[in-house]
Amino acid sequence: MKIHTLKLNSQASMLTTALLAYGTTAWSADLPTLRDAFKDHFLVGTAINRAVTTGRGFRRSSEQVNTDIALVKAQFNQVVAENEMKWDSLHPRPGADGYDFRAADAFVSFGLNNNMYLVGHTLVWHSQTPHWVFAGTNPPPNTASAAPGTNRFGRYNGPRASREELLQRMRDHIHTVVGRYKGKIKVWDVVNEALSDGGTNTLRTSLWTEIIGPDFIAKAFQYAHEADPDAILRYNDYGLESSAKRRKLIALIQSLQAQKVPVHAIGSQTHVSVAWPSFAEMDRALTEMATLGLPIHITELDVNSAEGGQRSFGADIANNAATTQGGLVSDADRKLAEAYAGLFRAFLKHDPQVKMVTFWGPNDANSWRANGKPLLFDGNSQPKPAFHAVLAEAKRAAAAK
């Protein structure tokens, strides 16, 4: 339904129009789209959750969910499942019978039905992996000091699988999942967040490194390549705007390339804040990452507008990135628009390398850090000034050609 088809006049029509602005289609009728604006440059995507793919909301009315769905369909040409393809969601119990493909299948159907480019997230990660994956009969190194089961960070702390057992589980998981969606999912986040944040070690210590060793990364890529030789295999991490973390990324990828590991793209999550990074800092980050000679995908873009998330990025980028306490920064809409404009200017400058820009959620209501109001559309899918600022960058790039 379009607003201009309504013939009512006077106050009643004004009320109807105002209500429609929060309905399912009013916002989309005349709004330009991100997918079109950047079609000559890169795909523009979003993470979606199971409310969007199934139409059944959780803490959101069906009308709100319908609006979210309409927004996704109108604005984006690429989707990734926010949680539904993580190990704990896909493969909660051991063995071949332990899979649960329902939510992942719904995601794939949604994407295919809407002609979207599909990305899978994520095969191997230290987080959101069920304890059974790591469990076995080898005593853990710290039995003397910790009770068996789980330590206080939720990390599995009981008797462990051997290297061979864990490699076998990883191979089975990757072959089953990548094989099931072969030809449908075009890009996989094969390994997620393996780099350490502080210190001098390149890799974070995890059950993957402790049980298998650092070559768990190479093995994961090899298994994924066996399962779908046509899939684009991505290494995905956050905080790559920081030069220290970026140095680790470059060391890791160069070492994989030297071993001829099939790594095909860099995923740079880009969970940033209005304070940082600027255009110049993002430009530098992309310039340095591009030296690896691989396509760069911006994989989880959002820009935190909350006071609590504006601290400089020190040792713990992950914690800082999530924080949304303290209300919004002053003049948040304008600062968000400026931050997004700078980021997109940098993406456009590097568009031969930047092949995909994915937002981590379609709107502020569907965001892991909703209180930081980090996206281009508000909770009712209304475009914010940042949306127009991003489109203005596309126009600028076209005019400069």
Is residue 288 part of the annotated active site? The answer reads no
Nearer to ligand 9MR, 87 or 101 (CB): 87
Q: Output DSSP code: residue 128.
A: S
- Contact with ligand 9MR (CB under 6 A) among 134, 156, 368, 377: 368
- State which of residues 17, 66, 83, 278 lies at the interface with ligand 9MR (CB under 6 A): 83
Q: Based on the shown chain and the rule CB under 6 A, indicate whether residue 128 belongs to the binding site for ligand 9MR.
A: yes
Site string for ligand 9MR, 181-200 (x = CB under 6 A): -----------x--------
Q: Which helix (H) or strand (E) holds 168?
A: helix 163-180
- Strand pairing category for 232-237 and 185-192: parallel
Q: Which residue is nearest to ligand 9MR (CB)?
A: 368
Residues 239-278 that bind ligand 9MR (CB under 6 A): 269
| Contact map string, positions 63 to 82, toward ligand 9MR, x by CB under 6 A | -------------------x
Catalytic residue among 241, 300, 338, 393: 300
Q: How far apart are CA 176 and CA 172, in angstroms?
A: 6
Whether 272 and 230 have beta carbons less than 8 Å apart is answered as no
Residues in the chain: 401
Phi, psi for 197 (deg, rounded to 5): -85, -55
Are 190 and 240 spatial neighbours (Cβ–Cβ below 8 Å)? Answer: no
Number of residues binding to ligand 9MR, judged by CB under 6 A: 9
What is the distance between the alpha carbons of residues 196 and 200, in angstroms, rounded to a whole number?
Answer: 8
Q: What span, in angstroms and rounded, lies between the C-alpha atoms of 22 and 11? A: 17
Instruction: Pick between residue 193 and residue 338 the one whose CB is nearest to ligand 9MR.
Output: 193
Helix (H, G, I), strand (E, B) or coil at 364: helix
Nearer to ligand 9MR, 128 or 205 (CB): 128
Q: Which of 193, 241, 338, 393 is catalytic?
A: 193
Is there a catalytic annotation at residue 281? no
Q: Taking the complex as a whole, how short is the minimal distance between the CB of residue 95 and ligand 9MR, in angstroms?
A: 23
Q: Which is it for strands 135-138 and 160-160: parallel, antiparallel or unpaired? A: antiparallel
- Give the active site residues: 193, 300
Task: Give contact residues for ligand 9MR (rule: CB under 6 A).
Answer: 82-83, 86, 128, 192, 238, 269, 300, 368
